[in-house]
Structure 1
């Protein structure tokens, strides 16, 4: 059922907003989102330390990542609706403060359950932050060259956040403790909470209802699905808990779709899928991270447990991916203007799939230069060419009143794709190594290579969806790029 908000039937008036400073506004918004993206991977390179300190199993260790991304992805749709109803700046500020508090709790954790609860609470904070940031960009920058440049900056933060998290996490873990990978969010969150009312204008509040039944069935259903996949890696496909997990996921996700067709104001408006391009973009942004997200997890284990890298060195090993991705994203608006959305997107997804596929050939004796450097560059180039075209395709022609729902659904599918994808790759890893014999390095590499192969197949599925569903219309992108080159065109 939907819970009514406290607002009247008419939209609430806006409180006085600060003068708009586009550059500063964009900086504050993307910094808030960068904090969320960084925390999706900041603990990756700290996982061996966390495993030793809090006594996780190797497959159970993936819950340190999944507790965050499940709560984050599962509640993003509700977070988007909260922003529409209560105001996006207010929602963003509340999310930042909750994120900082939960980071403090996680940094102080003394056992595994405490840490997982704190990570889930972080995910809730992130679910309030992420859709508000993208919706604020959509409403703060008019459709055209300025929005494309703002989305370019946003996409670069979204793209590099995960790889920056690996570097930051490695540095803090080596120099201090894994706890500081979480505690560092506290001063950043406080600074953002003070800056938001000063530099970011509030958006109108729209009367509406909170679809709690949709949020609950969607989140619990996805959690059951991820649990079932991870259980497979530990106990096999015939295990009773595994089968119950899959059955519960099927029932709950079916209930979610039923609730959404009947809700007056659903957290996932199914009408957003009516447009062919947007529907293809949504499916593609689900599958692309599903094939890529697990790569960070297994590359971190390979770097530290096979190549014997320190956390700091393991984090810096991802710098080529970060630098290539950041540089590529900055060039994408020009590529869109010259070649159009579909060619750029298909090229990027192809390169990302090739990079992950190359990792499937990894062997225990491969060093960094021979085994990792080339694939990291390909993946960075591919992701850099993919995210902004997908964002622009999905958010094109969205009504302002649905900007929060559309952006929330975009990020929901992106993060849930990564979470479910990781659970699938963990299942592939566990199945490949359950009866493997030999040295630990060889066993880990054998399982990781199988996981990378599965990731490449998922990425190829996303490429196929994009190739067959997107229409290839790109006159709008060409028009925006041309307008951006006219003398006197405003910068974002």
Structure 2
């Protein structure tokens, strides 16, 4: 492995990608990629599969709607709260070690979750599983970006990697319905043997790596980061149920902001900070993180609204709903393997612009064409197809830009940063969307009681989020074009 000190600003924001570096794809490289892709697939599968099983879980365990929400939110809390620390921990303690330990915990939590008969314990296992995923996800990404050299090899690996994440989520919608019909516990137990397989293969294939020499003594930075991120995610996911103006909600946001501000103060003063804050001064990396918020925040919020609209308003079954949204997943699954070549040809910036443009057009189409009895082929399918193209173009390109030019010993930090932006950004946009479509009520269960009009404000929000990300991404290209024209005009 070699350190790459190329500036991401030069490598990715210019519309041309970093120079491709030839790298032979040996059987071991393919094996490592297969392990990482399997774990990515399980992460995506788990989120969507468990969501389908919530009604059955509530009936058998006697859980209220609020408790059921925490089966999802508990995972989001652990995952989003510790992603940044998880990525940096991989740098400091060794990627292989952190990845394998976290994967083992993920498998054990899945097994326990499928066996418990108590709602509180079930939520606890989901929180632990989210914590484990907070370490496996950025560590898997950093193993990939340090194993495959920057350029065409890494772009190709990232495009394959993204296929499995999207395929896991899409497959989970259908598998969740099939497994739930046999018993909701299977949605928890099904990932266990595959996680065990990935663990054994990872032990055999992933090479040992040397931890970073500095940054491991910042105890106060770690404590304030974890506390601040956990409180931030908790505040976001609990606000729709408790109320955004509730004193406890406002107080938790203030406390979270204070903890994160203290973290930044600490990182600027310690000799060996946990997080090198200067990484946030690299424009290309910042734009990649803004783009992932726009991508995930708008995409997942739109999918949430579509799930409610298709089932509660149009009366579709869960399987019909999954099949209706499946074309987007198929585009990602079959299109993503080719995205790496497009990134090589056009650069990450132009690919991200194309992605966010496609997403924005998809939201606008449904906003203009939707009604209480929409025609699927005319009103829904075009949006689904545009969203599939946008996600396929965007995910690989954003991940490539977010990690380009970063030295190997900070790949975990860069990976954790972009994935934290994705998860926390998605949670914030989804919480705001839920508040809008539920008319500001505290209970998300009220969503879906009216027709298409109820979702229009949420659609405007996700369109605005995608458009904002597009404007941020296109701004440096516009500035360069203006600068190039100025001398010619003189």
Instruction: Compute the TM-score of the two structures, normalised by the length of structure 2.
Output: 0.83
Contact 2:106 2:132 in 1 (8 A): yes
Find out whether 1:385 has 2:393 as its counterpart.
Answer: yes
Find out whether 1:365 has 2:373 as its counterpart.
Answer: yes
Match of 1:296 in 2: 303
Closer/same/farther in 2, CA of residues 100 and 371 from structure 1, 3 Å limit: farther
Aligned length: 452
Closer/same/farther in 2, CA of residues 55 and 305 from structure 1, 3 Å limit: farther
Closer/same/farther in 2, CA of residues 336 and 376 from structure 1, 3 Å limit: same
Closer/same/farther in 2, CA of residues 428 and 55 from structure 1, 3 Å limit: farther
Please state how far the C-alpha of 1:64 moved relative to its aligned partner: 2.7
Give distance in 2, aligned partners of 1:217 and 1:306. 44
Closer/same/farther in 2, CA of residues 220 and 440 from structure 1, 3 Å limit: closer
Please state how far the C-alpha of 1:264 moved relative to its aligned partner: 4.2
Contact 1:215 1:267 in 2 (8 A): yes
Tell me how large the CA RMSD over aligned residues is: 2.9
Find out whether 1:70 has 2:77 as its counterpart.
Answer: yes
Find out whether 1:200 has 2:206 as its counterpart.
Answer: yes
Contact 2:74 2:123 in 1 (8 A): yes
Aligned partner (choices 321, 326, 333) of residue 328 of structure 2: 321
Give distance in 2, aligned partners of 1:337 and 1:447. 43
Aligned partner (choices 80, 98, 109) of residue 87 of structure 2: 80
Please state how far the C-alpha of 1:237 moved relative to its aligned partner: 4.2
What pairs up with 1:140-155 in 2 under 5 angstroms? Answer: 140-155=147-162
Match of 2:412 in 1: 404
What pairs up with 1:436-475 in 2 under 5 angstroms? Answer: 441-443=448-450, 445-469=452-476
Give distance in 1, aligned partners of 2:428 and 2:61. 24
Give distance in 2, aligned partners of 1:357 and 1:218. 38
SS at match of 1:317: helix
Give distance in 2, aligned partners of 1:210 and 1:329. 40
Give distance in 2, aligned partners of 1:103 and 1:155. 23
Please state how far the C-alpha of 1:238 moved relative to its aligned partner: 3.7
Closer/same/farther in 2, CA of residues 57 and 258 from structure 1, 3 Å limit: farther
Find out whether 1:423 has 2:431 as its counterpart.
Answer: yes
Contact 1:349 1:463 in 2 (8 A): yes
Contact 1:96 1:129 in 2 (8 A): yes
Find out whether 1:161 has 2:168 as its counterpart.
Answer: yes
SS at match of 2:259: helix
Please state how far the C-alpha of 1:265 moved relative to its aligned partner: 4.2
Match of 1:189 in 2: 195
Give distance in 2, aligned partners of 1:429 and 1:188. 38
Contact 1:168 1:315 in 2 (8 A): no
Please state how far the C-alpha of 1:151 moved relative to its aligned partner: 1.6
More displaced, 185-194 or 464-473?
464-473
Please state how far the C-alpha of 1:422 moved relative to its aligned partner: 1.9
Give distance in 1, aligned partners of 2:66 and 2:373. 24
Match of 1:347 in 2: 354
Closer/same/farther in 2, CA of residues 225 and 94 from structure 1, 3 Å limit: closer
Contact 2:110 2:129 in 1 (8 A): yes
Contact 2:297 2:427 in 1 (8 A): yes
Find out whether 1:374 has 2:344 as its counterpart.
Answer: no
Give distance in 2, aligned partners of 1:450 and 1:71. 30
Give distance in 1, aligned partners of 2:54 and 2:159. 32
Contact 1:237 1:243 in 2 (8 A): yes
Contact 1:80 1:405 in 2 (8 A): yes
Give distance in 2, aligned partners of 1:211 and 1:41. 36
SS at match of 2:84: helix
More displaced, 164-173 or 440-449?
440-449
Please state how far the C-alpha of 1:61 moved relative to its aligned partner: 4.3
Match of 1:25 in 2: 32
Contact 2:158 2:340 in 1 (8 A): no
Give distance in 2, aligned partners of 1:48 and 1:453. 29
Give distance in 1, aligned partners of 2:477 and 2:71. 36
Find out whether 1:126 has 2:133 as its counterpart.
Answer: yes
Closer/same/farther in 2, CA of residues 374 and 442 from structure 1, 3 Å limit: farther
SS at match of 1:42: helix
More displaced, 106-115 or 442-451?
442-451
Provide Cα deviations, 1:258-307, integer angstroms capped at 9, x if missing partner.
Answer: 23333444443212122211121122223321222223333333333334
Please state how far the C-alpha of 1:191 moved relative to its aligned partner: 1.0
Gaps of 5+ in 2: 1-25, 481-490
SS at match of 2:49: coil
More displaced, 340-349 or 305-314?
305-314
Gaps of 5+ in 1: 1-18, 474-492
Match of 2:185 in 1: 179
Aligned partner (choices 242, 259, 275) of residue 266 of structure 2: 259
